[in-house]
A and B are shown apart, each in its own frame.
Chain A
Amino acid sequence: MKAAAGGQDYSAVDFFYKYGLYMVFVALIAVFTALNATFISAANIVNLLQQSSSASIAATGMVCVMLTGGIDLTIGSIIYLSAAVVVMMTNAGLGILPALVVSIGIGAAVGVINGVMIARFKLVPIIVTLAMMFIVRGLTMALTEIKMQYFMNPVGDFIARYRVFGILPVIVIAMAVVVIAGQLTLKYTAFGRHLYAIGNNPVAARKSGIALDLKTFITYVISGSLAGLAGLIGGAQVGGVTTTYGSGQEFLVISACVLGGVSLFGGKGKVLPGAFIGVLIVMSIENGLVMVNANVYLYTVVRGIIIFLAVMVDCMRNKSDLR
């Protein structure tokens, strides 16, 4: 009976939706710092950023897809495929620049297939990308003969450890470039604004002459390519790939995006600060759990809770929009 008289409360709810993300982030930092003071140290912050690089890069692509109302479940498998191929090729003598091109190219290729199925043949994104998730993982397993693959060359080492001026890790710079470029594209290009339009009202978007199919297609290619890059970076950090590498990464990235205010219903969200803060929150929870020596099995539970809360808040936010 009180809900109807919610006119007054709305501003408080609104405030939470707007700044809740930062409140949660600050609260988290406070909690982990209280539990272990080294959490806030410069070394750990750089460490956290490094750990977030791969997911942030993948999240940038995911935001593009999600803005149109789609979803990309293949990214975990792309990360696995790209890392595995790059490990094997660099071990065979491939240099760093070709490795970069190969990793992005592999992701783009998977993205093209997703995009064609979804934009051209009008199949449902969740089904297409779910199927591709299994196909790509299966192919990679065949390719690696279900063996672990290790970097046995300087390329992986360079990506994982090189620091510009001895301070900034190269992967953190890569992440910054991708995330900033992603946000600028969304905000300052017609393509970016059109993604918001498509997610908000696809029928009207088509009537307004927005090349809906082409743009939807491109988002999957972007998402795939960035996942490929994320695979290269992540693989180098770990030093190789195991058969479960990258699995579940898509849900981590999606939940980080949703947590950061990117709507599952499309048309809403930003790479910066939104999705990026979302990734930092998820990663600092994982990082924090390690630092306070939490039970390993707890990680998965916590991940599940994060996904649940993120989606719940997204649904509530959308409900209040439909007032």
Chain B
Amino acid sequence: MGEEVPAVSEVLLSIEDIEKSFSGVAVLECVSMKLKKGSVLGLVGENGAGKSTLMNILGGIVPRDNGSMSLAGSEYSPNGPIEAARKGIVFIHQELNLFTNLSVAENMFLEKYPRGIAGGIAYKSMYSEAQRMLRALGETVSPRALVADLPMGTRQMIEISKALKEDAKIIIFDEPTTSLSTKEKERLFAIIKDLSSQEVSIIYISHMLDDVFRLCDEIAVLRDGRMITQKATRDLSKDQVISLMVGRELSKLFPYVEKSPGKEVLRFEDISQGKTLHNIGLALREGEIVGLFGLMGAGRSEFVKAIFGVDKFDSGEVFFKGEKVKRFDPSTWIENGVALITENRREEGLLLPKSIKDNLVLAHLNQIKGPLNSIRVRSENSASDRVIEQLRIRTYDKNEQQAVMLSGGNQQKTVIGKWLLTKPKVFLLDEPTRGIDVGAKYELYNHFNDLALDKTAILFISSEMEELMGVCDRICVMCRGRIAGELDRGKFDQETILKLAIEGAM
């Protein structure tokens, strides 16, 4: 894409020496960045590097402490997201800002509804206008549809057409692809390219470096609140970017250690559930990391949720340490040392408004209680300190900082830390590294390895084939609710795995 950039591009936005700190902790230090008209700038960095803060300053959501910004040559300091939008800067958040109880068109025109008879909302013209705008993006959804009924990809298109309605000059995408299917992702990329050819500038934040390299004209790397570099994509390599992000050379992306699996702890036989799961058989041994791969909708999450007792299944048997399991509910599993980390960590794994300490010790309370079931504050503190240090959770105050204030990677570490304290025998991990950066991922892999060496059995569900190939001893591939095949480490091969996942057979 580098070739498509005009030789002399005018700078649309320039950010200079931005500083910002929260409760005395510097989050951004002297950050400068330039965005050219019609170019796609990839912003990468580890979790907590300050990407979100920088973009929130740009989008007018938080004020800056120091520094200056200029937009199209004139001073720019928005006092809120509305003013930012009026000046043409629109932020499309990772958690989309749509209202599921309103229709597509009502969402698009939320800030300014077209007026009709007696000043009331003119639904008819609003619907036709919305339809016209969606069609322009190649989106066929009805503007009358309720957002709650729509898939994530469509919701994103609604956000984009909303941004275009505001005559956006700069659109910021924050991890736009995490909840999109491959097809939806391709459509998004096509639209982003189209936008940039119409002179709209894009800032694209993502942990998916492959996407960033494919899509962006330039890449800017943030690390620990400082801008490390901003260069044309063609002058950078993926390895370079990774080491710039992490600040150290990663010898390998995926640490793998040789393990000696022990006896079988968990075995599933013929698990079936309606139309989603068919005769799934799977076994986990002590000290083994087993990968479960599958494309979107293959039934991976449904499978773990069913066996963990979150949902129900119709038939099949489960054996835990050789004994047939009769009760399927999360609390029984947890008592027996089986932990599940779901893919929706924000919704299902954390008490967001509670402190980090409270979250960490939540599943561990039985072990640290004193007389009359009171909680021993000292053991609570020592237990949480241990995990914070072990997982290197970045927090300025574990008692005060709310889990909601942590960056994505640190939230994930907190969820994992919560279960680490219970010393699980079996760990079911559903997309544990989604949306977190390379450095944090590497640390997590190491922790999984340590757990496995300590005789924990791990079922690792992921849609990133590379990481499964990197850390697992065995990979099971799911396709349309069935186990399509199982491969041992020596036989890992991208093509074979993908073929199994797509076609269900070799």
Contact of A193 among B82, B106, B274, B311 (CB under 8 A): B106
Whether a CB of chain A sits under 8 angstroms from the CB of B389 is: no
Stretch at the interface among A125-133, A203-211, A306-314: A203-211
A200 within 8 A of B: yes
Q: Is the CB of A5 within 8 A of B98?
A: no
Within 8 Å of chain B (Cβ to Cβ): is A30? Answer: no
Q: How far is the CA of A284 from the CA of B95 in the complex (A)?
A: 45
The answer to whether the Cβ of A1 comes within 8 Å of any Cβ in the partner chain is yes
In residues 273-321 of chain B, which contact A (Cβ within 8 Å)?
Answer: 273-276, 306, 311-314
- A–B complex contacts, Cβ < 8 Å, 29 sampled: A1-B314, A2-B312, A3-B311, A3-B312, A4-B273, A4-B314, A5-B273, A5-B314, A184-B120, A188-B121, A189-B120, A189-B121, A190-B112, A193-B102, A193-B106, A193-B121, A194-B110, A196-B102, A200-B100, A204-B95, A204-B96, A204-B98, A208-B111, A209-B80, A209-B82, A209-B85, A209-B111, A267-B101, A268-B101
The CB with the most chain B CB atoms within 10 A, among A189, A201, A207, A210, is that of: A207
A158 to B100, CA, bound (A): 47
- Whether B97 sits at the interface, judged by CB under 8 Å, is yes
> A207-B61, A208-B97 known; A193 and B120 CB under 8 Å?
no
Judged by a CB distance under 8 angstroms, whether A64 is at the interface is no
Contact residues of A between 1 and 59, Cβ < 8 Å to B: 1-5, 7
Report whether B312 and A196 are in contact in the complex, using a CB–CB cutoff of 8 Å.
no
- The 4 A-B pairs at the shortest CB distance, nearest first, are namely A188-B120, A209-B82, A204-B97, A5-B274
CA distance A207 to B174 in the complex (A): 15
CB of B113 within 8 Å of the partner chain = yes
Q: Does B99 contact A (CB under 8 A)?
A: yes
Across-interface contacts of B121 in A (CB, < 8 A): 187-190, 193
Q: Shortest Cβ distance from B210 into chain A, in angstroms?
A: 30
Q: Name the contact of B313 in the complex, choosing from A4, A189, A196, A268 (C-beta under 8 A).
A: A4
Residue of A nearest to B118 (CB): A188
Is A321 an interface residue, CB under 8 A from the partner?
A: yes
Please give, as numbers and ranges, the residues of chain B lying within 8 Å of A1 by CB-CB distance: 312-314
Please determine whether B102 and A197 come into contact, CB atoms closer than 8 angstroms. Answer: yes
Pair A200/B102 contact, Cβ less than 8 Å:
yes
Q: Please name 15 further chain A to chain B contacts, defined as beta carbons within 8 Å, in addition to the given A4-B313, A187-B121, A193-B113, sorted by A numbering.
A: A1-B313, A2-B312, A5-B273, A184-B120, A196-B102, A197-B102, A199-B101, A200-B99, A200-B102, A204-B99, A207-B93, A208-B81, A208-B110, A209-B82, A210-B110
Which B residues lie within 8 Å of A187 (CB)? 121
Point out which of A199, A200, A321 has the most chain B C-beta atoms below 10 A from its C-beta: A200
From 162 to 208 in chain A, residues with beta carbon under 8 angstroms from any chain B beta carbon are 184, 187-190, 193-194, 196-197, 199-201, 204-205, 207-208
CA distance A189 to B115 in the complex (A): 9
Report which residue of B80, B85, B113 has the largest number of chain A beta carbons within 10 angstroms of its beta carbon.
B113
A7→B113 contact, CB < 8 A? no
CB-CB under 8 A from B96, the residues of chain A are 204
A207:B81 contact, CB within 8 angstroms: yes
Q: Which of B346-386 contact A (CB under 8 A)?
A: none
What is the CA–CA distance of A321 and B147 in the complex, to the nearest angstrom?
12
C-alpha spacing A196/B85, complex, angstroms = 22
CA A204 to CA B91, docked complex, whole Å: 12
Chain A, interface size category, equals: 20 to 34
Chain B residues in 8 Å Cβ range of A188:
120-121
For the complex, give the distance between the alpha carbons of A292 and B98 in Å. Answer: 50
Interface string of B73-113 (1 = CB under 8 A from A): 00000001110010000000101111111100010001111
Cβ of B148 within 8 Å of any chain A Cβ, yes or no, is yes
- Complex-state Cα separation, A197 to B314, whole angstroms: 39
Q: State the Cβ distance, B211 to closest chain A Cβ, in Å.
A: 25
Q: How far, in whole Å, are A207 and B98 apart by their CA atoms in the complex?
A: 11
Q: Is the CB of A7 within 8 A of B99?
A: no
For residue B119, which residues in chain A have a CB less than 8 angstroms away from its CB? 189
Complex contacts, A209 vs chain B, CB 8 Å: 80-82, 85, 111
Residues of A within 8 A of B148 (CB): 321
A27 to B276 CA separation, bound complex (whole angstroms)? 39
| CB neighbours of B275 from chain A (8 A) | 7
CB-CB < 8 A to B306: which residues of A?
Answer: 4
Given contacts A4-B273, A4-B311, A208-B81, contact A200 B111 (CB under 8 A): no
Residue of B nearest to A190 (CB): B113
Contact partners of B95 in chain A: CB under 8 A: 204
Interface positions, chain B 408-445, Cβ under 8 Å from A, are none
- How would residues 142 to 157 of chain A score, 1 for a CB under 8 Å from any chain B CB and 0 otherwise? 0000000000000000
Given the complex, which residues of B lie within 8 Å of A196, measured CB to CB? Answer: 99, 101-102
Q: Smallest Cβ distance from A170 to chain B, in angstroms?
A: 25
Q: Which chain B residues lie closer than 8 Å to A205 at the CB level?
A: 99
Q: Which residues of A contact B312 (CB under 8 A)?
A: 1-4
Cα-based distance from A190 to B100 in the complex (angstroms)? 17
Kindly report which residue of chain B lies nearest to residue A188, judged by CB atoms.
B120
**CA gap between A321 and B54 in the complex, in Å:** 35
Partner of A4, one of B81, B102, B113, B274: B274
Interface string of B264-277 (1 = CB under 8 A from A): 00000000011110
Q: How far is the CB of A204 from chain B (nearest CB, A)?
A: 4
Q: Which of B101-158 contact A (CB under 8 A)?
A: 101-102, 106, 110-113, 119-121, 148
Tell me whether B101 and A200 are in contact (CB under 8 A).
Answer: yes
Which A residues from 96 to 152 make CB contacts under 8 A with B? none
A314 to B277, CA, bound (A): 31
Which residues of the other chain, B, contact A207 by a CB distance below 8 angstroms? Answer: 61, 81, 93, 97
* Residues on B with beta carbons closer than 8 Å to the beta carbon of A4: 273-274, 276, 306, 311-314
Q: Which residues of B contact A3 (CB under 8 A)?
A: 311-312
Q: Which of B80, B99, B306, B311 has the most CB of A within 10 A?
A: B99
Question: Are A197's CB and B274's CB within 8 A?
Answer: no
A184 and B116 alpha carbons, distance in the complex (Å): 13
Q: How far is the CA of A5 from the CA of B306 in the complex (A)?
A: 12
The residues of A that contact B111 with a CB separation of less than 8 Å are 208-209
Chain B nearest CB: distance from A116 CB in Å? 23
